[in-house]
Structure 1
Amino acid sequence: MQSGLKFGSGSVPLNFMNIEPLTGSNFKRWRADIEIYLSVNHLDLPLYKKPPEALTIASTSEQQKYFDEWHRLNRVCKNVMKRTMSDSVSGSIEEKELATEFLESIGERFKESDKAQIANLLNKLMNTKYTGSGTIREHILKLVDYAAKLKTLKNPISDEMLIHHTLNSLPASFEHLNTTYLAQKDKWDINELISICVQVDERIKKEKIERSVNLVGKPKWKTQKGNNHKGKKFSPKLALAPAPDSKIQKPYQTKCYFCRKSGHLKRDCTGFKAWLTKKGIHKEEKSQK
């Protein structure tokens, strides 16, 4: 018989009001939250200790105290369970005297078929692929978790088969890793597989980053727009180079030094001739004068 037990609430990492109410499809999550809440608050004694024997005249005060405290916590456990159920679920389950029996009866109501669970786990195990989202460690641990759950359902998968399947679930960039494993005699365990895959994944991601940086830094060849050479490609270096210092020769045009217009000489300018007449000058001057 235990004595000197201390009960009471401690720190509460899981708020009672934040426990998702049991609706039927979330039984596993609900049970885990209930057990965590009762445990961190030191209320879970009835879940792992059998009920004390009935009191007698010879019972000590410590036995009396333990008896009263155990039954009080038993009621608390059941009340917490009922408080976190939806009304429809709570009304459909018969309440038991012991909290452990009450919890088991709830589990029986929402117990999944073993065959359905096995089929669901096998489907997840076979169809889960690593796409690069998240980490490769999380991906492998997810597959290990599926295999562990299959083992509890008496459908174990050997470690060697799990490793082969894990390698096959990786993208084509890991193909050389699969080839290396098949070529060697030694076998890897799960921990070695995780360590090697993490290193390879980091190297692949680093190479992708380096390639993307190089592509961004290297100028691309583009088709020049707005020129007379349609379809031809040019280098940006050539486009930025200064144009050659070449002059295009134009045909010589005469220019009048009197009216400043092109196409005639001063001696042929009508304006110049009119000016001479006005001035009384009848001698024809040369255009160069």
Structure 2
Amino acid sequence: MISPKEVIASVANIDANMNSIPVLNYTNFKSWKEKILLVLNCMNLDYALRKEQLASPTEKSSADEKANFEKWERSNRLSLMMLMHNIPEAFRGGMSDEVSVKDFLKEIEKSFAKNEKVEISKILADLVQMRYKGK
């Protein structure tokens, strides 16, 4: 049985990990992704990112297959919850609850890759148009 002190320590650990992840915005995608992956790894919740989605177990499935499915489901659900917590609703789009964390992360990455290319093009255009006003 888990003692109340262990529960409090666990909740404090989760809270500290969650607070170490910045809220995603237009300028911090790379650092946000690094931190979210690190926290998921440290909390042992990255199983759904490392493994492909498993088929739902049947009555004929072995105990190991059922346990692996449950592990993947838990990892996926908690990882999605952590991502959602650190992403403003405007970035979430129309994602369904049935999406895997791996697919959700890929969709966000695609959005920010497009934004990053546009921003880099704008900065380069501004740089080309700048003139030196020597001193």
CA shift, 1:17, in A, is 1.4
- TM-score, normalised via structure 2 length: 0.68
Distance 1:115 1:79 in 2: 29
Q: Of the candidates 33, 37, 49, which is equivalent to residue 35 of structure 1?
A: 37
Equivalent AA in structure 2 for residue 88 of structure 1: A
| 1:98-124 CA-partner distances (Å, limit 9, x unpaired) | 11000011111111229937x86xx9x
Say if 1:115 and 1:26 are closer, same or farther in 2 by CA, change over 3 A: closer
Q: Of the candidates 15, 19, 23, which is equivalent to residue 21 of structure 1?
A: 23
Distance 1:93 1:107 in 2: 15
The answer for the alignment partner of 1:94 in structure 2 is: 95
CA RMSD of superposed structures (Å): 2.7
Distance 1:97 1:87 in 2: 16
What is the identity percentage for the equivalent residue pairs of Structure 1 and Structure 2? 24
Say if 1:87 and 1:53 are closer, same or farther in 2 by CA, change over 3 A: closer
Aligned residues: 109
Distance 1:25 1:115 in 2: 10
| 1:112-154 CA-partner distances (Å, limit 9, x unpaired) | 229937x86xx9xxxxxxxxxxxxxxxxxxxxxxxxxxxxxxx
Contact 1:21-1:84 at 8 Å conserved across structures: yes
Contact 1:24-1:89 at 8 Å conserved across structures: no
- In proportion to residue count, which structure has more helix? 2
Distance 1:87 1:39 in 2: 24
Distance 1:62 1:87 in 2: 37
- TM-score, normalised via structure 1 length: 0.34
| 1:3-52 CA-partner distances (Å, limit 9, x unpaired) | xxxxxx8x78x721131101222111111110000001110000011112
Equivalent AA in structure 2 for residue 83 of structure 1: H
Extract unaligned runs of 5+ from structure 2: 1-9, 128-135
Larger relative contact order, structure 1 or 2 (CA cutoff 8 Å, min sep 6): 2
Contact 2:91-2:108 at 8 Å conserved across structures: no
Aligned ranges for residues 146-185 of structure 1 at < 5 Å?
none
- The structure whose Rg is larger is 1
